[in-house]
Structure 1
Amino acid sequence: MKKMILLAAVLLLPVTGWAASYTIDPQHTYPNFKINHLGFSTLHGRFGKTSGSLEMDLAKGTGSVEIVIDVASINTGFKKRDDHLRSPDFFNAIEFPEIRFTSTKVSINGKAATIVGDLTIMGVTRSVTLDVSSIHCGVHPFSKKDVCGFDATTEFNRSDFGIKYALPAVGDKVKLDIEMEAIKK
């Protein structure tokens, strides 16, 4: 009888790794980019407003990711350049206010993952792969909410999305890093 009670108690415990839904925390999610600037240096920038969702089943090694980036929130630390990046020469933020990533396949292997998906910039969609080196999930020490976070990287050519202004002086290859935290729904 004691074994049956113990087995029932174990089965009722929450199991880490079961499928869970999360909302991206915009206060702790940072899409950053790097691009060659005129052959002299690397220009760094970031987007300040991000939203989206995350589904993960760590036990099965699957999930889905939806990330929406507000193009107008671009910040390179120089207002004149940021305004130019929002213009039709680059992101055309008025006509295309969002950059969107939607996963098509998520493969989680332990603490690492590969996320294949569709990246849409200026109405053009291309497949990219986000490489995730570590996934960390747990209870947030301050909010006491369940949180998962990861750092993902990818590279792509901006010309593939129709952003060709100042090529080749301003580099074509963009490195995108996304540091993300998401709160369990």
Structure 2
Amino acid sequence: MTAETHDTATTTAGSTTALPLIPGRWAFDPLHSSVGFTIRHLGISKVRGRFNEFETELVVGETPEDSSITATVQLASIDTGNPDRDAHVRAADLLDVAKRPTMTFRSTRIAGAGEDWTLEGDLTIGDVTRPIAFDVEFGGVVDVPVDGSRHAGFDATGEFRRSDFGLDFAPGFLGDVIKVGLELQFVEPR
């Protein structure tokens, strides 16, 4: 059954939602995925960066309620394009990656239709967990002619306050809000 013909529906909040993906465990495609962020510096500009090491798992059920996504980001893999700054951010007086090696996400709710979805879940940094929501744009599913696989693509954006996670270092120099942008691809189960 292809994604185009898969038409499972469920009723949530009075609306019918068709799942755009076939059920199963979709394989993560790390070569075509990224985790990026922006944070204000001195309140006048933005520092952009990314994390180079992360993994995620997408399990699609028959309904959104039966589906889940989890992700783990290695915080030591931070890359802002400035090695000296990255080393400082990893240090004990800032991010302290020895104490907080990972940032994890576990979904609690997936809802939407067509191209627009919402992904809610719990974000954990160190020993602190807080809720977070992402706006998700579903890019579609395409056949890859080279190997016959089918890939699904998603863009997700969200934000959180670093002070909510005990990361309140350098107030005035760094903004409190961190904006996160994800580009994710997954491969359909065979």
Cα offset for 1:126? 0.5
Question: Shift in Å at residue 88 of structure 1?
Answer: 2.1
1:43 aligns to 2:35 (yes or no): no
Report how far residue 148 of structure 1 moved: 1.3
Pick the aligned partner of 2:115 from 89, 105, 111: 111
CA deviation after TM superposition for structure 1 residue 18, in Å: 3.1
1:60 maps to 63
Alpha carbons of structure 1 residues 65 and 162: separation in structure 2 relative to 1, 3 Å: same
Q: Secondary structure at the match of 1:81?
A: helix
Distance change in 2, residues 1:56/1:79 (3 Å): same
Partner in structure 2 of residue 22 of structure 1 = 26
Q: Percentage identity across aligned positions?
A: 34
| Equivalent residue letter for 1:163 | L
SS at the partner of 2:87?
helix
Give the structure-1-normalised TM-score.
Answer: 0.85
Q: Deviations over 1:102-153 (max 9, x none)?
A: 1011113122211100011122110000110234223224342122110000
Match of 1:39, as an amino acid?
A: G
How many positions carry a matched residue from both structures?
172
Further displaced range: 119-128 or 104-113 = 104-113
Partner of 2:164: 160
Cα distance, 1:61 vs. partner? 4.0
2-side partners of 1:35 and 1:23: how far apart? 31
8 Å Cα contact 1:92-1:122 kept in structure 2: no
Q: Unmatched 5+ residue regions in structure 1?
A: 1-12
- Residue from 119, 124, 141 that aligns with 1:120: 124
SS of residue in 2 equivalent to 1:67: strand
CA displacement at 1:183 relative to structure 2: 1.8
